[in-house]
Amino acid sequence: MSNHLKFYIDGAFVDPLVPATLDVINPATEEAYTQISVGTAADVERAVAAARAAFPAFAKVPQAERLALLKRILEIYNERYEDIARAVSEEMGAPLSFARAAQAWAGQVHLEATIKALEDFVFEYPRGSTRIVLEPIGVVGMITPWNWPLNQIVCKVAPAIATGCTMVLKPSEIAPISGIVFAEIMAAAGVPKGVFNMVNGTGPDVGQVIAAHPGVDMVSFTGSTRAGIIVAKSAADTVKRVAQELGGKSANIILGDADLEAAVTAGVGGCFGNSGQSCDAPTRMFVPADRHAEALEIARAAAETHKVGDPLAEDTVLGPLVSQLQFDKVQRLIKAGIDEGATLVSGGLGRPDGLNRGYYAKPTVFGNVQHEMTISREEIFGPVLSILPYGTEAEAIEKANDTVYGLAAYIASGDIGHARAVARELRAGTVNINYPDWDTHAPFGGYKQSGNGREYADWGIHDFLETKGIVGHGE
């Protein structure tokens, strides 16, 4: 029996206190394929009450038992892997191959990384005659986005389990079904009642209520900077900890000593992956001015290899954008690029040829982009790449840093020493040299308006802990 119309509270799937539903839209068809229940403050209240009641006992569970629980969650996750991939594909339009290889995989590998980190983690140690004790912060409210649903759910839930925290999760109401599957995994894994709770609903009716609730000790939020500001303001009255991973407008500096064809081709792929719906996507590509024309031709050819279409088709590379709202935003910003005089290299307005329904956008490349243009400043969150020519390396670094964001940055170079030197100049939480593999043990988070706090492995574990000094404890 489907749990789509239920919440998970105090160890059981339950009905909402006030029945209300929301359609879940398949972005490939623009049609509703199921419904979820949406919660109210009353549902949040009982979820928080369950988490608070469970916290004292769970905080005392030995590290070895929490580790065993995480391993059991991973075991059940792997059993439900295909269900997760199919849920993500249907709810957000990800090609099924990508949902398996990246979306469902992300949750799996973050569980593995947290398990590895917890095996080696030290929760208390002496410093002179003081005993340093790292303790779970308490009840954590978790608000997660639609673009990488399992990645963000696991990056919050796993460190909460690792540290002995209890939690209330609100997945995105746009892509909520994978979150329901995850709740089923938690139930099957035998997570103690009240430790993990999930309430579906909208940001104003559930997310902000969680953030403001005095019984919540910490909020971990991933989403837009606009929404993050609202969450932070909601949390401020109770002076709770707020960890946020927000927007980005990541620079990709292709240095003069790079292999231009390889670097531009990889940069296009990095920008377009997940239909451009990744907060750390390399959306601003800086290329040497004397090779700008060559870079545009390479980018044009690369863009043409990204076939857009049915998420279930084997040859599909990019699926639709997640919603009508997102499609309209991307179209508005593509139009801004055209109107402001950037060179349209490929793509443009409207759907790709042959697609008359679904929120499909054309993979779009702009050249001759000026630093002040809208497409160089605003986060687009679609398959749109801006290529900016630069005269000197110092100019590229200055413009790369001249943004309100600071989530990620990218460097392509044939000289690793050169790349390392430039990396130190960039104001971003993660700097990627020559398009490395995803490192789930590296810290992930941003500078400036890209947020605060860090996720992944032991970095995430630290964020869920309070530090206590017992002075005079002795050796």
The CA distances from residue 86 to 34, 63, 91, in Å, are: 14, 34, 9
The whole-number average pLDDT for the span 148-165 is 98
Residue 59: name the closest of 141, 133, 161, 185 by CA: 161
pLDDT at 341 over 80: yes
The whole-number average pLDDT for the span 135-141 is 98
- For position 474, what pLDDT does the model report? 86
Task: Give the contacts of 409 (CB within 8 A, at least 6 positions apart).
Answer: 250, 251, 252, 253, 400, 423, 426, 428, 430, 431, 432
pLDDT digits (tens, 9 = 90+) for 359-416: 999 999 999 999 999 999 999 999 999 999 999 999 999 999 999 999 999 999 999 9
> Percentage of the chain surpassing pLDDT 70?
100
Q: Which domains does the chain have, with CATH numbers?
A: 7-246+450-470 (3.40.605.10), 251-440 (3.40.309.10)
Number of other CB atoms surrounding residue 42 within 10 Å? 12
pLDDT at 475 over 80: no
Dist. CA 69–CA 51, nearest whole Å = 17
Q: How confident is the model at residue 220 (pLDDT cuts 50, 70, 90)?
A: very high
pLDDT at 1 over 60: no
pLDDT digits (tens, 9 = 90+) for 424-471: 999 999 999 999 999 999 999 999 999 999 999 999 999 999 999 999
Positions marked catalytic:
245, 279
pLDDT digits (tens, 9 = 90+) for 102-124: 999 999 999 999 999 999 999 99
> Percentage of the chain surpassing pLDDT 90?
99
pLDDT at 279 over 60: yes
Element holding 338 (H helix, E strand): helix 324-339
- For position 133, what pLDDT does the model report? 98
pTM confidence score: 0.97
DSSP structure string for 138-177: -EEEEE--SSSHHHHHHHHHHHHHHHT-EEEEE--SSS-H
